[in-house]
Structure 1
Amino acid sequence: MGRPTLYRDEYAEQAYKLCLLGMTDAEMAEFFEVSESTINLWKIEYPEFSESIAMGKGVADAAVAEALYKSATGAHFIKEDRAVSDGCGGTKIITMEKQLPPESRAQSFWLKNRQPQQWRDKVEVNATMKLDQETLAMIETQFVARMAAAHERQRAVLIERGIVIDAEDTDLP
């Protein structure tokens, strides 16, 4: 027989609340002072634990998705602000209507994740090019000339800074 489990019935409710806070399985393992593999074992052995994690993550993800959606599309809401004196010994609640404008970063995030083919930042280009021998020779000539010029500029800087005393004594290629 193996070692007795560290699992307690109250862990299911705690796991639910931890998931609402956005914790990962690894972070919950740290909270419960067990390994992540133990968390995975508890999910198998204790269905209520697994269900509470799934529910907590689902509720948290849905709340964030709703907030992101409202941020991306703009939101209109009525807020009961506070109770103020009505001047006759009573109080009345002040309500305010607010309109939040759409937020472009939230829109971009939403679209990049929902429609990545149309909205991703990375653009893939599939192109092929055939070069004849004359064009390749011209490219090689220009490359060699530019590298020689860069080499000369580098030597001049080294001489100017006193790193190389004699321009002929450099070991630069």
Structure 2
Amino acid sequence: MTAQSLKDRVAKRLKATGHPRRRRRDRYSKPFRSKPKPEGYVFGRPTLYRPEYCQRAIDYMGQGYSVTALAGELQIAKETIYLWIREHADFMHAINRGRAARVAALEAKLLTTPQGVGVTAAIFALKNADPDEWQDRYNTETRVNVSIEHVSDAELLAIISKGQNAPALIEAKPVEIATDVTGTAPAQTNRRNI
């Protein structure tokens, strides 16, 4: 098809209809225009949070259940619980009260459980629920600041043999090795540079 024949076809169509052929217009050709929203309107999906969940959280966790179990009870994801904790101060306060009630319920269970596997399970649950108060390890931190330049092998062995009184950290400044007149390093001695 040549350019001249295309021009002839367009001219013929204009004579017949009086206007050029337009593209078909459909409902998607116009841009979407929404109505203005009222003041305070929140866009997006509505939240599933309800203020009554605060009391439900305290009651449910007071039976000894965790935050994950609470999420299962409310039939929502655990991440949603943590999102609500960040966004709603009243829910954060309720979860903190629920955690304290959970520890109280687990301690009561420990006190009323007869000897055996139940005691071990209760202690394990308490170690996970409140690790600050229920932990097996004790952290002892000793800081000794000793400044030395040279220590011989015999002195190091004496420090090691003392055991408990040995400094936890030995700090020293780096020492440059002196060279003799020929530019070579002297032979090593039995003293160590630290």
Q: Does the pair score TM above 0.5?
A: no
Q: Which has the larger radius of gyration?
A: 2
TM-score (norm 2): 0.36
Q: Which has the higher helix share?
A: 1
The structure where strand makes up a greater share of residues is 1
Q: How does the TM-score come out when normalised to structure 1? A: 0.39
